[in-house]
Each structure stands twice: as C-alpha cells, then as structure tokens.
Amino acid sequence: MAEAGGFADGDLEAAGLRLSVSDEVATVTLARPERRNAMTGRTWEALAHVGQTLPESVRIVIVTGEGSTFSSGIDLNMFRPGGVEGETSLMDRVADGSADDAELDRVIARYQEGFAWLRRPDIVSVAAVRGHAIGAGFQLALSCDLRILADDAQLCMKEPALGLVPDLTGTKPLVDLVGPSRAMELCLTARTVSAAEARELGLAELVVEEAQLDGAVDDLAAALLAVPREAASATKDLLQGAPARTLQEQAAAERRAQAGRLRALAAQAARG
C-alpha cells in the first residue's frame, strides 16, 4: 500500500534496508553488502518510513550493517552523471538548474528525516558498528543514542574531502560528544578514527571484539528494557534537553517530569 511521501510497503529491500521486529526490539539492517552498504536518497526515505511506521510496541531500535562494513556512506554514483539507477539525480538537477535552493532544502530535509527520528524519546536507538562507518554511515551511527563498536570499527567524516559538508544531522551530535575543536579536526582532516580512539573520545559507549558485537548489543537491549518504558522516555527527554538549559531551567524540568511520574505511579498503585 502506498504511504505518504510515495514510499510503498515492501520496498525496503530495494532501498537497501531490512527491518525485523521482535516484540520491543526492532533491528534495521543496511543490506547492500556488495556495495558495502552504501546508501542512496531512497535508503534515507526508506529509513524515514521505518521511523514513521514503527510499531508502538518497539522500545529499542538497533541499527546495523550486513557483512563486514557498517556503511561506506553515500552511494558515490549519486555524484556521477545519471546518478543511481531508478532515482532522480540531485546533482543532475543542480547542474541543469531544475533544483533551486528551496527545492534542495526540501529534498535534504526529507533525507534528514531518515536520521532524525532515531532520537525520539519513546525509543532508545543503538548503532552496532563493525568495519567502516564513512560519511553518511558515520552520521547514521551518530544519530543513534548509543554506539557499540566492534574493535575493527573505523569512523570517518569524509564529506569535506569530497567538497561537501556533513548534512545528515551528524554535526550536532559530533560536536556534543567530542567538542567543537575535536569535531573540527576530525571533519576538516577527514581522518579515520579507530574503535579504540572512538571509545576514548566518547564516540562509543563500548568497544568489543568483533565476534562479541551481537551479544553485547543483546545485553544492552536487555538492560535497557529492564527499566520501565515511561520512566525511560521521560528521562531521555530530560537528558536530551539538558545541554540547552541553565541549571535552574533543568531543575524546573526535573520537577515537571517528576510530577508526571509521581502522578502516573500513584494512579498505577490506585488501580492495584
């Protein structure tokens, strides 16, 4: 059935994605291993569709890649004449003048929707990264709340080296996690960060041996699910807002959130 935005159910595979849902855990897998899980505009639209249609039961979203590479980033064919088969080439539209600034803003905003939903307070998103996470792949990992890396993981913000800026919502989490100076150094040199350095910089919560990655992700999901859903959502919301608030504002936000929690717990107790 056709969905808003022109995305039809069953098209995920063609867009290079796979989704499996098991009760409270959804796993989104980048599934073009023959292209090292390179992503196209269609992949990002498909990701947005996954976010929009996620079953309400889902509390944890795991984002991973099939094979030895998390993602080689944007499909480089998007920059070549003709673009990616079956997709309109944004580069061609810029070159022939048919995409003005407003249109570029609209299209990129649509792509960004594929990344932005991973921060929603009602879920916790976890990137499970083995091998390379380059460009858009690194930004996808940064869009997740938490990152577990295999010890062979390599992260690289390659966009500036290709004459671009990172525009898939990755710059804010990068700055928030490592600070503006380190973020600048990583982006403007487009150098590769190893798993060990990523851990040191706060880009990963955990680094494990490659063979232990899936088990480590399952353990984290189980630990996250052990906390009551509503308390987890309210706490995530509180933590996400903290950097933009003063201490007093954050204290007020804590009071408001706690009042809501106390009321909910009292109502629950009254129901027996």
Contacts with ligand ACO by CB under 6 A lie at 35-36, 38, 69, 72-77, 132, 134-136, 158-159, 162, 164
Side by side, the strands of the sheet bearing 154-156 are 132-134, 154-156, 192-194
The amino acid at 162? L
Smallest gap from Cβ 115 to ligand ACO, in A, equals 12
| Nearest Cα residue to 82 out of 92, 94, 97 | 92
Query: For residue 205, what are its two tokens?
Result: 């919560």
Smallest gap from Cβ 69 to ligand ACO, in A, equals 5
Smallest gap from Cβ 189 to ligand ACO, in A, equals 14
Ranked by CB distance to ligand ACO, the top (closest) residue is: 135
Say if residues 44 and 115 touch (Cβ distance below 8 Å). Answer: yes
Say if residues 90 and 164 touch (Cβ distance below 8 Å). Answer: no
Smallest gap from Cβ 272 to ligand ACO, in A, equals 54
Q: Which is nearer to ligand ACO, 59 or 132 (CB)?
A: 132
Q: Which is nearer to ligand ACO, 51 or 73 (CB)?
A: 73
Q: Which is nearer to ligand ACO, 135 or 173 (CB)?
A: 135
DSSP-derived pairing of the beta strands 154-156 and 192-194: antiparallel
Smallest gap from Cβ 31 to ligand ACO, in A, equals 14
- State the DSSP code for 191: P
DSSP calls for 121-143? TT-EEEEEE-SEEETHHHHHHHH
Q: Which is nearer to ligand ACO, 73 or 114 (CB)?
A: 73
Q: Which is nearer to ligand ACO, 123 or 155 (CB)?
A: 155
Smallest gap from Cβ 36 to ligand ACO, in A, equals 4
Q: Which is nearer to ligand ACO, 48 or 141 (CB)?
A: 141
Torsional sign, CA 150, 156, 157, 162? negative
**Can you tell me the distance from the alpha carbon of 15 to that of 173, in angstroms, rounded to the nearest whole number?**
26
